[in-house]
Structure 1
Amino acid sequence: MVKNILLIVTNVTQYTNSLLKTGLWLSELTHIYHAAKERGWQITIASPLGGYTPIDPESLKPLMLDGISKRYYENPAFMDILAHTKSLNEIENNSFDCVYLTGGHATMYDFPDNSTLQTILRKQYESHKMVAAICHGVGGLLNVRLSDGEYMIRGKSVTGFDWFEETLARRKNAVPFNLEAALKERGVHYRKAFIPMTSNVVIDGNLITGQNPFSSKEMAKAVVQELEK
């Protein structure tokens, strides 16, 4: 059965308190995109504002750019899609089997307080459909409230880029907030990998989260398996 998935990416190009560039972490999009495309699923890529999605230059470094990501980065048709994403307002009322928040430090700026994104996620979750988020994209779940006013992630088992990993990434002083601490403030059961910067995916009902870029492949696998059940 053909599934319809929404992949949400960022529009932000730079940290607000630094000259450092940021954007989408490429592998956190390419692996789920590739898995869906292989199965002939319908894929929509959208961003808060629509239009251009920058790619974090860190995600293009040789140690980070895996084979699948490199192939898509060198694919003009795929890059054209990233240059012309739909806006969240355009697709707000569409129906999807999965809404997937990609990562990159940039998402810490345009995901958490976006009211349209919150509406999309609330409807998706309350319809018992899949919500997935990886790495810093998990920050987009922080302020989503359900119809009863409770935070969507309260009491849920969740992961996301941890504070020690932020230190290893040398972005501790550049990021707008501590994602690990913010998640814990929402009352989640925070789960992180025993070894930093290794794959970790957490499934709690129709909510799936991945800890870091190294979780991209396993996240795609988990999402596909859950959707095909």
Structure 2
Amino acid sequence: MKNLLLVVTNVTHYESGLATGLWLSELTHIYHAAKQKGWEVTIASPKGGKVPIDPESLKPFVMDKITKEYYSSPGFLEELHQSKSLTEVENDFFDCVYLAGGHATMYDFPDNDVLQSIIRKQYEKGEMVAAICHGVGGLLNVKLSNGTYLISGKSLTGFDWFEESIAGRKKEVPFNLEAAIKERGVKFEKAFIPMTSNVVVDGNLITGQNPFSSKEIAKVIVNELEK
């Protein structure tokens, strides 16, 4: 039996007022993979409670079969909108802490002290830390007990600046995620073709590049946890 903490955003809008939120498939695939194994799953957010879903992630040509099924499930949506707060779970044990993405996470993940504490303790215990797409921004400011940034010198990936251009959000986002990651001395690994699946494993740190990596990162996490 494994226990996973899936962290999602509470932010509903960009500063411009445009709607944003959780990118749903980046939660549904890891949730589904864990439930298929009979594992425990806890959904948490910085504030707890309701979790907004990015309307872009609900478009018919974007949603895959699994995501459509969960979006049609009242039980899943009720669980999502009754997320625990990070303070409620910060002292609990998890085999994996996973940061789901969506542009909204750029606002409430990077500077959240409780999230940083959860990630630091998780990583230093040798347990798994995973993040996908913009959720990788939650790793940016995490410092280890020795004062160094967790991601410094690591290999990882995340939503790159060219993909931000394809998404039409370069003028909306509060910062350039790719540039911020590289400033930490990271080996930033991109997919050869933008907007295609890419997952990077560096020890107990696992990252996915974009929404199209949702299925693959879930598979990698399960495989690593079962080793």
TM category (shorter chain) comes to: over 0.9
Gaps of 5+ in 1: none
Matching residue of 1:175: 173
* Aligned equivalent of 2:147, options 146, 149, 154: 149
Q: Distance in 1 between matches of 2:173 and 2:33?
A: 30
Residue 200 of structure 2 aligns with an amino acid whose one-letter code is: V
Matching residue of 1:100: 98
Matching residue of 1:49: 47
CA positional deviation for 1:19? 2.2
What is the number of residues matched between the two proteins? 227
Matching residue of 1:59: 57
Matching residue of 1:91: 89
Gaps of 5+ in 2: none
Matching residue of 1:7: 6
Residue 123 of structure 1 aligns with an amino acid whose one-letter code is: K
Task: Report the TM-score, using the length of structure 1 for normalisation.
Answer: 0.99
* Aligned equivalent of 1:208, options 184, 206, 210: 206
CA positional deviation for 1:148? 0.2
SS at match of 1:167: helix
SS at match of 1:144: coil
SS at match of 1:44: strand
SS at match of 2:42: strand
Task: Report the TM-score, using the length of structure 2 for normalisation.
Answer: 1.00
Q: Distance in 2 between matches of 1:63 and 1:24?
A: 17
Q: Distance in 2 between matches of 1:48 and 1:10?
A: 7
Residue 212 of structure 2 aligns with an amino acid whose one-letter code is: F
Over the aligned positions, Cα root-mean-square deviation in angstroms equals 0.4
CA positional deviation for 1:167? 0.2
Q: Percent identity?
A: 73
Does residue 71 (structure 1) correspond to residue 69 (structure 2)? The answer is yes
Matching residue of 2:129: 131
Q: Distance in 1 between matches of 2:218 and 2:191?
A: 18
Deviating runs (4+, > 4 A) in structure 1? none
Residue 151 of structure 1 aligns with an amino acid whose one-letter code is: Y
Q: Distance in 2 between matches of 1:164 and 1:199?
A: 15
Residue 71 of structure 2 aligns with an amino acid whose one-letter code is: Y
The one-character-per-residue Cα deviations of 1:107-134 (angstroms, maximum 9, x if unpaired) are: 0000000000000000000000000000
Q: Distance in 2 between matches of 1:103 and 1:64?
A: 15
Residue 10 of structure 2 aligns with an amino acid whose one-letter code is: N
Residue 197 of structure 2 aligns with an amino acid whose one-letter code is: S
Matches within 5 A, 1:104-123: 104-123=102-121
Matching residue of 2:223: 225
SS at match of 1:140: helix
The one-character-per-residue Cα deviations of 1:129-171 (angstroms, maximum 9, x if unpaired) are: 0000000000000000000000000000010000000000000
Q: Distance in 1 between matches of 2:62 and 2:27?
A: 13
Q: Distance in 1 between matches of 2:81 and 2:177?
A: 28
Q: Distance in 2 between matches of 1:163 and 1:49?
A: 28
Matching residue of 1:23: 21
Residue 85 of structure 1 aligns with an amino acid whose one-letter code is: S
